[in-house]
Amino acid sequence: MKNTFLKCVNCDATYEVTDPRYTCECGGLLDVSRDLSKIDGAFLKKLWDGRWGAKSGAEASGVWRYKELILDLPNEEIVTRQEGNTRLYPAGKAATYAGLNNFHLKHEGENPTGSFKDRGMTCGATAAKMFKAKSVACASTGNTSASMASYAAVEGLKPIIFIPEGKIAYGKLAQALAYGGKTLQIQGNFDDAMELVQDVCKELNIYLLNSINPFRIEGQKAIGFEILQQLDWQVPDWIIIPGGNLGNNTALTKGMQELYELGIINKIPRVAVIQAEGANPLYTMWKNQSEYKPVLDPDTIATAIKIGNPVSWTKSLRGLKWANGVVEQVSEQEIMDAKAMVDAAGIGAEPASCCSVAGAKKLVDKGIIDKDAFVVGILTGNILKDPDAVIGYHQNTLQAQNIVGTYANKPIKIECNIDAVKNALK
Ligand SMILES: *Cc1c(COP(=O)(O)O)cnc(C)c1O
Ligand SMILES: [Zn+2]
């Protein structure tokens, strides 16, 4: 990995990429940086297009296809489940709902464990292997733990998982347990778990795989690379993405910046980050041009983004400035109504994902996104991750959370005879 190093976001200090650290001496977050002047963009584009459709090995992964800008390791050192290669759908009913004429949805819920986290995890697990770690740990609202447990199982590492008390979506918890994660439910919320896991990793010499880990961000850049490759390198006007711990939007803009500097793209897509009203520290800061202030008691049905103190907020802001981005917030009702539309379009996604569509609608309504703009929304997780939220909405039992089933599709109970069926189908 020549020309690759770790660089502090705050003070520009640099470290060897083989130095197993997550933060700078000054406390700042680290980026994986590379000397782009030594890379030929036109050559890369050709190389990547040549790998499209590779049938086996690391190059069949929608992350490692781009390994020159991820981690340039020999294929046999890579831990992969051939993640990525997710579809880019015309948004159908969800486009009509958002008021957009040219809207696509990139479905990251089609990854091996059902969320985009696999793109970061393949890279994080590969780093764990590079550092010869025996155990890996993360704090998680669910999808990170599902992904980490799976990749740890593949590589024979011991996964240790910290989850917050209270609701965690069943699909995600089920995966973590099933893949063999040692799962510790702590008395506290996600932000407390995040603090604890950092101390635990330091003290017990365990490799930390939260998105504070700079390698996870590198892997997640591939979402943007793959969108562009699927579009034959045509650049959308806007890319819309949900924001929780703010690693994914950081990755998106970092990747776009690298492609832009290499001349692989010649236009910068604008980026919209969408937060839930109940977990909106980035939105508040953005809107009021105020100092960063965590949300102390975050709450939202979109549990994947129920985070009050996102670790990557500084990196996220840096990327938003570069991409002339915006931040928007959406209500619980807006999230679940948008989800009903994504689901009814035949696509389907978990609640947090649907912030992309709820946010699209809001930004079109406000005149910030033009109805004819070329827009891609990222769906971050699979519909099956959180069946409780789906059933609650369609049975209209979410009133306590101030959500009504606007587009509810209730099951109908009938007697077991043909007349009852005819009656029900009327
Ligand atoms: C992790 C996650 C998010 C939030 O991504 P961040 O990088 O934490 O901002 C959104 N949706 C789903 C489904 C997730 O799993
Ligand atoms: Zn520093």
- Selection from 3, 36, 20, 61 nearest residue 254 by Cα: 36
Q: Which tens digit of pLDDT belongs to each residue from 347-360?
A: 999 999 999 999 99
Residue 197: inside a domain: no
Q: Is 25 exposed, middle or buried (0-12, 13-18, 19+ CB in 10 A)?
A: exposed
Tell me, in angstroms, the distance from the centre of ligand 2 to residue 24's CA.
5
Tell me, in angstroms, the distance from the centre of ligand 2 to residue 77's CA.
29
- Among 148, 210, 245, the mutation site with the greatest number of ligand 1 atoms within 8 A of its Cβ is 245
Same domain, 237 and 344: yes
pLDDT at 1: 76
Same domain, 316 and 377: yes
> Quick one: pLDDT band at residue 165, thresholds 50, 70, 90?
confident
Same domain, 359 and 278: yes
Tell me, in angstroms, the distance from the centre of ligand 2 to residue 106's CA.
35
Q: Could you identify the atom of ligand 1 that is nearest to the CA of residue 211? A: 7
Q: Could you identify the atom of ligand 1 that is nearest to the CA of residue 248? A: 7
Count of the separate structural domains present in the chain: 2
Same domain, 21 and 104: no
Residue 388: inside a domain: yes
Same domain, 12 and 105: no
The CA-CA-CA angle for residues 85, 376, 115, to 5°, reads 45
* 119: three-class secondary structure by DSSP: helix
> Quick one: pLDDT band at residue 211, thresholds 50, 70, 90?
confident
Same domain, 260 and 369: yes
- Selection from 378, 372, 328 nearest residue 352 by Cα: 378
Tell me, in angstroms, the distance from the centre of ligand 1 to residue 117's CA.
8
Same domain, 309 and 221: yes
Same domain, 293 and 358: yes
Stretch 276-285: mean pLDDT: 98
Same domain, 8 and 96: no
**Residue 206 confidence (pLDDT) above 80:** yes
Residue 198: inside a domain: no
* Closest ligand to Cα 145: 1
Q: Which residues surround ligand 2, an ion (CB under 5 A)?
A: 8, 10-11, 13, 24, 26, 28
Same domain, 259 and 320: yes
Q: Identify the domain containing residue 287 by its residue range.
A: 88-114+216-401
Q: Quote the CA–CA distance of 267 and 343 in Å, as a whole number.
A: 32
CATH number at residue 348: 3.40.50.1100
Same domain, 97 and 26: no
**Residue 337 confidence (pLDDT) above 90:** yes
Residue 273: inside a domain: yes
Q: Quote the CA–CA distance of 394 and 386 in Å, as a whole number.
A: 13
Name the percent of the chain lying above pLDDT 70: 100
- CA 351 → CA 45, 145, 153, 361, distances in Å? 35, 18, 27, 16
How much is the mean pLDDT over the chain? 96
Residue 232: inside a domain: yes
Cα dihedral 314/137/303/342 (nearest 10): 90
- Selection from 150, 307, 334 nearest residue 243 by Cα: 307
Q: Quote the CA–CA distance of 106 and 226 in Å, as a whole number.
A: 9
> Quick one: pLDDT band at residue 411, thresholds 50, 70, 90?
very high
Same domain, 364 and 301: yes
Task: List CB contacts of 70: < 8 A, sequence separation 6 or more.
Answer: 63, 64, 123, 218, 219, 221, 222
Stretch 199-212: mean pLDDT: 93
* Closest ligand to Cα 30: 2
Q: Quote the CA–CA distance of 283 and 363 in Å, as a whole number.
A: 14
Q: Which two tokens stand for residue 255?
A: 């990747």
The CA-CA-CA angle for residues 90, 95, 96, to 5°, reads 135
Stretch 106-117: mean pLDDT: 98
The ligand 1 site (C-beta within 6 Å) comprises 115, 117, 143, 211, 242-248, 304-305, 350, 352-353, 380-381
pLDDT at 231: 98
- Beta carbons of 221 and 258 less than 8 angstroms apart: yes
